[in-house]
Amino acid sequence: MKPSFTKLLRDYRPLLVFAVLLVSFRTTIADWSPIPSGSMEPTLFPGDVVWIDKTAFGPSIPIINKKLLSWGHPERGDIITFVPPHTDQLYVKRVIGLPGDSIRIDGMDVYVNGSRLLQQPTSAGDDYLLGTENIDGRNHGIQLTRGLPVPWIGRTIQVPEGKYFVMGDHRNNSADSRFWGFVDEDKIMGRVTAVALSISPRRGWKRFARPVHRAASIFVHHKAAPATDAGMAAKLITGIIISRLAPAPKAQVWKGRWRSLRRWSAGRMWWLPMG
C-alpha cells in the first residue's frame, strides 16, 4: 500500500520547511556563487565562493536568475553578479560605466567621462603585471597578462540608459562588456561583498570571510614608488648572486634542519631529544 500524500507531507515537513526557508533566503537576502575563472584576478580567484547581497538591488530567484523586484542602483567600482545578454549563466564583473557615461580604453588606461582612472603599478613578474586602480575614491587590484592584447584600444562608447559597462580586473583575460555589450539593469542580481570561503590553491584559507576590497591585498603589495620590470629583475638577480656567493655554513644548515624536525615532531615522537 502506497503512503498517502498527506502522510508524505507530514513525514517530510521539516525538509520542506527548510527548502522554503533556504529559497526565500537566497531570493531576498543573500546568495553565494563560485568563481569559475580568473577573469577577476587579483581580486577573486578560481575556487573562491563569493557572498552576494541580494538586498542591494532587489530580490531575484536563484538558479533561473529571474529578477522579481528592482530597487537601488550599482555604483562605479561595485562587483556585481548579473546575467549577460549572450547567455543565461551568472557572471561576476566590476562596474566601470554607469548609464550616460562615456568610456574609452587605451591600453591599460580606462577613461570615464574623459577622466582617466588613476592607476599605480605595484609589482611585476615574467608573465604578468599587477597594479591598483581607483574608481570614485575606491581602490582595487588589476592584472595584465603579458603577450595578450587589450581589446577596444582607442574606442569611445556611450553607455545607454538602463545599462551598465562592466569589466574584469584581469583586463586582457576577461570576456566582458568589450565583447558582448552592456548589462541590462534588470539582469543585475546582486552585489558581491565578500569571499565567503575559498579552496583556491593560492592561499585560499587566508581568504575566508574577507571583504572583496581586501581580498586582493594578499597578493598585491602597495609600495611607495612604482615597481618596474627592470627594478624587480635587478632585485631578484642580486638576491640570487648573494645567496650563491655567501652560502650558509653546513653546521648552521644542519642545526636549522634539526630544529625544524624537533618542532614538527613535538607531540608525535616523544622519544626524540628536545634539548
Enumerate domains of the chain plus CATH numbers: 30-234 (2.10.109.10)
Which region among 3-7, 177-181, 192-196, 240-244 has the lowest average model confidence (pLDDT)? 240-244
How many residues are there in the chain? 275
User: What DSSP character marks residue 73?
Assistant: -
Confidence of residue 123 (pLDDT cuts 50, 70, 90): low
- Mind listing the pLDDT tens digit for each residue in 187-233? 999 999 999 988 877 666 777 778 886 555 434 433 333 333 333 33
* Largest CA-CA distance found in the chain, in angstroms, rounded: 85
Q: For residue 232, what is the enclosing H or E element?
A: helix 229-245
Distance CA 183, CA 164 (A): 5
Supply 167's cell numbers.
569589466
Report the DSSP beta bridge partners of residue 134. 118, 139
Distance CA 48, CA 68 (A): 27
User: Residue 42 — φ and ψ, nearest 5°?
Assistant: -95, 20
3-class DSSP state of 149: coil
Distance CA 46, CA 195 (A): 11
3-class DSSP state of 154: coil
Distance CA 60, CA 102 (A): 29
Is pLDDT of 94 > 90? yes
Is pLDDT of 81 > 90? yes
Which burial class, exposed, middle or buried, applies to 71 when counting CB atoms under 10 A from its CB (0-12, 13-18, 19+)? exposed
Based on its alpha-carbon atoms, the radius of gyration of the chain, rounded to whole angstroms, reads 25
CB-CB neighbours of 43 under 10 Å: 28
Pairing mode, if any, of strands 79-82 and 188-198? antiparallel
User: What DSSP character marks residue 37?
Assistant: S
* Helix (DSSP H) and strand (DSSP E) numbers for the chain: 6, 17
User: What DSSP character marks residue 169?
Assistant: S
Mean pLDDT of the chain: 74
Which has more pLDDT, 74 or 203? Answer: 74
User: Residue 187 — φ and ψ, nearest 5°?
Assistant: -100, 0
- Mind listing the pLDDT tens digit for each residue in 98-111? 999 999 988 778 89
